[in-house]
Amino acid sequence: MNLTINRQQLVTELETLASFSDAPAPAVTRIVFSPVDLNARAYLKSLCGSAGLTVREDPVGNTFARWTGREPNLPAIGTGSHTDAIPFSGRYDGTAGVLGGLEAIRALQRAQLRPRRSIELLIFTAEEPTLFGIGCLGSRLLSGSLRAETARQLKNRDGKTLDEIRSEAGFGDSLDRVRLPPGYYAAFVELHIEQGAILERRSIPLGVVTAIAAPASLRIAIEGEGGHAGAVLMPERRDAFLAAAEIALAVEQAAKSTGAIDTVGTVGVCEVFPGAINSIPSRVRIEIDFRDTDLARRDAALAGIFKNCDELAARRRVTIEREMINADAPIQCSPLVVDALTRACREHGFESLPMVSRAYHDSLFMSQIAPVAMLFIPCRNGVSHRPDEYAAPEDLARGSLVLAQALADLAG
Ligand code: GLV
Ligand code: MN
Ligand code: MN
């Protein structure tokens, strides 16, 4: 099979996709169901149509573009990623796997492959948690990890429900129809930028992901007592922000205390009420992202944070309410798909590195309904979720080539 990647086309398509953004270039902001997201979807569907793929969308906006195989009734081989982008991020997170996946399919078409199984490009809705506070919304629903009734309770920060938002965007059918039937995919492979610097530092062009770490996401509401920043003396205070600050430090301490490099904790959201320089904060809401590759270790560290919360609530005379947004389990990837990717790297003469994904991905949830693995390409300085995120054209093309080879192998 003579596989060739049209590098220029892939780069141009990534550039065009990046232009659908609510932030000035090079930053990309593309929140799910926003007008720019809907325009990006229209662009992607037109590309898939031009490649002769059959496109369908489900009620939450997951988009499937299928290249029908010789035996269309067999479970398909899936590939893909997401195209939503967190505020002021870059142009490659997720998109490399969507457009790299599409180019892989076109490369197989150019090589005159007639796959036995269908090969399907899947563009997931809302991998990023920006709008609803929960990541991987589309793949959670597809895999049945999130039930439709629970998803219907999701709201954005203005209190608008998922159903309201998606129906305004033109996705009106019931969420009950999103879940995929058992055996829909025989395998799923996701191409993604590494979002770390291991490949670059070791000068290894490709990573084959063998395990994916999983986050627990928590929302913590602290209620103290407000007052005049000059008049209320320090011993009298019940400052909600100072309690939040202690929790943030407890998160750092808990992440470091496991001694494992794979444990990480972040407080990425902190809303202070009333938010005036001369007013003692009476209410604070923080959101914590805490991750590990080992579930028991992660949960033990979280238990330490909760104990700390109880102690400091009593000491600072504040109330602390905890809401677990999600607590997902890490996964091991499927040897079937890992082997297909490793073989594909070898076949094309590329060294590859087995590695852990510390970022989460839709593959984490797809693993509940199909054998999955991921292919990583380097990104400059390991930078991601920033406007200066960058993947070199040769790395994008190499990823797409190896993906094509693995898809051909899995599709038979
Ligand atoms: C995905 O974007 C993550 O936060 O890992
Ligand atoms: Mn991301
Ligand atoms: Mn991503």
For the segment 360-387, what is each residue's pLDDT rounded down to a tens digit? 999 999 999 999 999 999 999 999 999 9
The answer to whether 89 and 29 are in contact (CB under 8 A) is yes
Average pLDDT on 135-158 reads 96
Count Cβ neighbours within 10 Å for each residue of 244-270 and write b for 16 or more, e otherwise. bebbbebbeebbeebeeebbbbebeee
Average pLDDT on 58-63 reads 98
For 334, half-sphere exposure in the C-beta direction (CA atoms, 13 angstrom radius) is 21
Strand partners, 290: 216, 265
Mutational test site, ligand 1, from 92, 95, 128, 131, max ligand atoms within 8 Å of CB:
128
Average pLDDT on 78-93 reads 98
Distance from C-alpha of 412 to C-alpha of 402, rounded to nearest angstrom:
16
How many Å lie between the centroid of ligand 2 and the Cα of residue 314?
37
For 332, half-sphere exposure in the C-beta direction (CA atoms, 13 angstrom radius) is 4
How many Å lie between the centroid of ligand 3 and the Cα of residue 344?
23
- Sequence-distant (6+) residues with CB within 8 A of 292 are 213, 214, 258, 260, 262, 263, 264, 298, 301, 330
Amino acid at 167: S
Is residue 292 predicted with pLDDT exceeding 90? yes
> What does the pLDDT read at residue 214?
87
The answer to whether 229 and 279 are in contact (CB under 8 A) is yes
Mutational test site, ligand 1, from 385, 386, 389, max ligand atoms within 8 Å of CB:
385
Average pLDDT on 146-171 reads 96
The answer to whether 225 and 371 are in contact (CB under 8 A) is no
Distance from C-alpha of 67 to C-alpha of 31, rounded to nearest angstrom:
28
Q: How confident is the model at residue 79 (pLDDT cuts 50, 70, 90)?
A: very high
How many Å lie between the centroid of ligand 3 and the Cα of residue 82?
6
> What does the pLDDT read at residue 350?
98
How many Å lie between the centroid of ligand 1 and the Cα of residue 214?
10
Dihedral (CA of 322, 140, 137, 207) sign: positive
Mutational test site, ligand 1, from 125, 209, 331, 360, max ligand atoms within 8 Å of CB:
360
How many Å lie between the centroid of ligand 3 and the Cα of residue 94?
4
The answer to whether 274 and 282 are in contact (CB under 8 A) is yes
Peptide bond into 59 cis (omega under 30): no
Written as six digits, the tokens of 275 are 């938010």
The residue whose C-alpha atom lies closest to atom 5 belonging to ligand 1 is 359
The answer to whether 36 and 83 are in contact (CB under 8 A) is no
Nearest ligand to the CA of 98 is 3
Average pLDDT on 105-112 reads 98
> What does the pLDDT read at residue 401?
98
Dihedral (CA of 97, 107, 333, 61) sign: positive
Distance from C-alpha of 239 to C-alpha of 284, rounded to nearest angstrom:
9
The residue whose C-alpha atom lies closest to atom 2 belonging to ligand 1 is 128
Average pLDDT on 75-91 reads 98
Is residue 355 predicted with pLDDT exceeding 90? yes
Distance from C-alpha of 137 to C-alpha of 154, rounded to nearest angstrom:
10
How many Å lie between the centroid of ligand 2 and the Cα of residue 130?
10
Tens digits of per-residue pLDDT, 256-273? 999 999 999 999 999 999
Q: Which atom of ligand 1 is nearest to the CA of 359?
A: 5
- Sequence-distant (6+) residues with CB within 8 A of 377 are 96, 191, 192, 193, 194, 199, 205, 206, 207, 391, 395, 396, 398, 399
> Which three-class secondary structure state does DSSP give residue 328?
coil
> What does the pLDDT read at residue 1?
86
Burial class (CB in 10 A: 0-12, 13-18, 19+), 9: middle
Residue with tokens 């205390």: 257
Written as six digits, the tokens of 269 are 């959201």
Ion ligand 2 residue ranges (Cβ < 5 Å): 93
Burial class (CB in 10 A: 0-12, 13-18, 19+), 168: exposed
The answer to whether 281 and 272 are in contact (CB under 8 A) is yes
Residue with tokens 């609510």: 22
| Number of Cβ within a 10 Å radius of residue 319 | 12
Angle between helix 295-316 and helix 240-257 axes, rounded to 10 deg? 150
Q: Residue 313 is inside which H or E element, if any?
A: helix 295-316
Is residue 182 predicted with pLDDT exceeding 90? no
Nearest ligand to the CA of 136 is 1
Mean pLDDT (the chain, rounded): 97
Distance from C-alpha of 155 to C-alpha of 115, rounded to nearest angstrom:
42
How many Å lie between the centroid of ligand 1 and the Cα of residue 362?
10
What percent of the chain stands above pLDDT 90? 98
Taking CB atoms and a 6 Å cutoff, what residues make up the pocket around ligand 1?
128, 135, 359-360
Average pLDDT on 308-317 reads 97
> What does the pLDDT read at residue 162?
98
The answer to whether 324 and 150 are in contact (CB under 8 A) is no
Q: Residue 367 is inside which H or E element, if any?
A: none
Average pLDDT on 71-77 reads 98
The answer to whether 144 and 368 are in contact (CB under 8 A) is yes
Is residue 283 predicted with pLDDT exceeding 90? yes
Written as six digits, the tokens of 64 are 């499937």
Average pLDDT on 42-64 reads 98
Maximum distance among all Cα pairs of the chain, rounded to whole angstroms: 79
Distance from C-alpha of 54 to C-alpha of 6, rounded to nearest angstrom:
22
